[in-house]
A = this chain, B = another copy of it.
Amino acid sequence: MPPTDPNYEARVRASFAKQQFMATLGASMTTVQPGEVSIELPFRADLTQQHGFLHAGVVTSIIDSACGYAALTLMPPDRAVLSVEFKVNLIAPAQGATFQARGRVVRAGRTLTVCTGDLRVVGSESVVAMMQATMMAVDGRSDRRD
């Protein structure tokens, strides 16, 4: 899937930098390739649920951003991306030093893009969580979802 915007990486990284919540979590964007984006997050105690693991919402947050930006890499320059919906399976407790979320485009349509994503502990191959998501290309100047 070739990107239609040659400047896709700078555009994606600039948009990520505007997601204040990613800074709040301490997440950073690592890989940005056509149709694929990775985000890393070091463990912090203030991101945990009642058993001391990463909260499912934190897990979701960084996989969602990885999927959304994977979709954006393939969108034309005048488009913005919004999450339409996602489904997450929490497969193993999110415990570890650093987490890596990966988002990957399965099919990029004109309006809708379908992505899969997952979360792993860096240094391990076992999957902590899996996402299947739908992203939407919207007018880049608009704040409307639809």
Binds B, one of A1-9, A28-36, A86-94: A86-94
Interface of A is mostly: mixed
Q: Is A130 interfacial (CB 8 A cutoff)? A: yes
Q: How far is the CB of A96 from chain B (nearest CB, A)?
A: 14
B143 touches A116 (CB 8 A): no
How many of these chains are in the complex? Answer: 4
Those of A76-108 within 8 Å (CB) of chain B: 80, 82-93, 106-107
Those of A51-76 within 8 Å (CB) of chain B: 51-53, 55-58, 60-62, 64-65
B89 touches A132 (CB 8 A): yes
- How many residues on chain A are close to B (CB under 8 Å)? 57
A88 touches B89 (CB 8 A): no
B58 touches A46 (CB 8 A): no
B60 touches A47 (CB 8 A): no
Say yes or no: A85-B88 contact (C-beta < 8 A), given A49-B19, A57-B58: yes
Say yes or no: A84-B112 contact (C-beta < 8 A), given A23-B46, A46-B23, A47-B21: yes
